[in-house]
Amino acid sequence: MHIKSVKLFSLILTLSLAGCGLFGDKVEESKNWPAEKLYAEAKDELASGSYERSIQLFEKLESRFPFGTFAQQAQLEIAYAYYKQGEAAQALAAIERFIKLHPNHPNVDYMYYLRGLVNFNDDMGFLSFVANQDITERDPKATRDSFDAFKELVTQYPNSKYTPDALLRMKYLVNALAQNDLHVAKYYYRRSAYLAAANRAQSAIKEYPDAPAIEEALVVLIKSYDAMGMKELRDDAKRVYDKNFPNSTLLADGGKKKSWWKFW
């Protein structure tokens, strides 16, 4: 090996070992930190985006000082750090633990809100609407879980500062669930499964009567009944459509409507 290469390798190795030593020293040093310093350091790591490191420090804080406000705050911050890190399962586990241990905590409303956010941003494909992906291929469980979490927040803590945002997200989630049913109904209709299409469209209409997708769901219902020769049911659905959407041209235009989510 060339002498310069040996020197360069030695320098890199020395720097690496020095770095490990510095990191080890910091870990060792934290053993003697008081709760206030541990919490401050953990918050700094969290603010800088070092989520894994912040979680480690918060866990150390909780284990060393298991009683009192610092331990409770550490549990709350751990849930948030997992959420920011994109670790949905760990975040939800931390949230449930906090709610179970501290049901009367002054910030427990935030835990319900965070639970909704975790599911809202879970890998369920909200942004895939923009990419025109078929949402019938995805399980809407995360959508329902998110809605239920926000609903629990709104019901139990109507005066929470997180409630207004939760209500807005609930409205969006209702629209998403209705849109999911609509896509399934249209899927069945395209494959001439008219009874299944009618049933799914009717389900969307009953469960989400105020969602934007209802106009199009009624069109699917009308066309499905018409395709099955159920003229009386078709006419009943048409009367509901005309009454609720008197200015709609959707049925005449062939049932195609610009997606509601493009206005979100």
Q: What DSSP character marks residue 137? A: G
Going residue by residue through the chain, which has 264 residues, state the pLDDT in tens, using 9 for 90 and above.
555 554 555 555 554 544 444 444 555 566 778 889 989 999 999 999 999 999 999 999 999 988 888 999 999 999 999 999 999 999 999 999 999 999 999 999 999 999 999 988 864 444 444 444 544 455 688 888 999 999 999 999 999 999 999 999 999 999 889 999 999 999 999 999 999 999 999 999 999 998 989 999 999 999 999 999 999 999 999 999 999 999 998 888 765 555 544 433
Domain boundaries, the chain: 30-86
What is the Cα–Cα distance from 146 to 223, expressed in whole angstroms? 33
Contact yes or no for 164/156 (Cβ under 8 A): no
Tokens of 94: 């931390």
pLDDT at residue 202 in the model: 95
pTM of the model: 0.71
137-184, pLDDT tens digit by residue? 556 888 889 999 999 999 999 999 999 999 999 999 998 899 999 999
What does the DSSP assignment read for 78-126?
A: HHHHHHHHT-HHHHHHHHHHHHHH-TT-TTHHHHHHHHHHHHHTSTT-S
Per-residue pLDDT at 199: 96
Query: Is the CB of residue 112 less than 8 Å from the CB of residue 157?
Result: yes
**DSSP state, residue 76:** H
Report CA-CA distances (Å) from 161 to 112, 119, 146. Answer: 12, 20, 18
Instruction: Kindly give the residue spans of alpha helices, DSSP state H, lying in the chain.
Output: 3-30, 35-47, 51-64, 69-85, 88-101, 108-120, 141-156, 163-190, 194-207, 214-227, 231-244
pLDDT (tens digit, 9 = 90+) per residue, 17-39?
A: 444 444 445 555 667 788 899 89
Asked if 240 contacts 221 with a C-beta cutoff of 8 angstroms, the reply is: no
- Looking at residue 67, its pLDDT comes to 85
- Rounded CA separation 57/142 (Å): 30
- Distance, CA of 76 to CA of 160 (rounded, Å): 17
pLDDT at 263: 33
